[in-house]
Structure 1
Amino acid sequence: MPSDFLQYANELKSPGLDGLSMLLHQGARAFAIFTNQKHR
């Protein structure tokens, strides 16, 4: 299991807005990468 996944799981378990904002940020970054691939 990659450490990135473990860190991601820890952030999911962390309560409060910190974990939520991190989740939103990662989702936005993944979405940006996805749209960039589509437009290429």
Structure 2
Amino acid sequence: MSGIPKGAIIWCLIVSWWVFVLVVGLLMVVVFPEAGAIE
């Protein structure tokens, strides 16, 4: 744990955020297709 650089933690947060955004976006398209059509 002590050997983890700070940049790696920031990258993990960025990647986690983008994965979350992509999953939510895909769910919106699948579950609410009319919502995606508005945008």
Bin of the TM-score, shorter chain as denominator length: 0.5 to 0.7
Whichever of the two has the greater Rg, that structure is 2
Tell whether 2:14 aligns with 1:17. no
* Structure having greater relative contact order (Cα 8 Å, sep ≥ 6): 1
Q: How many correspondences in the alignment?
A: 27
Structure-1-length-normalised TM-score: 0.59
Percent pairwise identity: 7
Structure 2 stretches lacking a partner, 5+ long: 30-39
Over the aligned positions, Cα root-mean-square deviation in angstroms equals: 1.3
Structure-2-length-normalised TM-score: 0.61
Question: Runs of 4 or more off by more than 4 Å in structure 1?
Answer: none
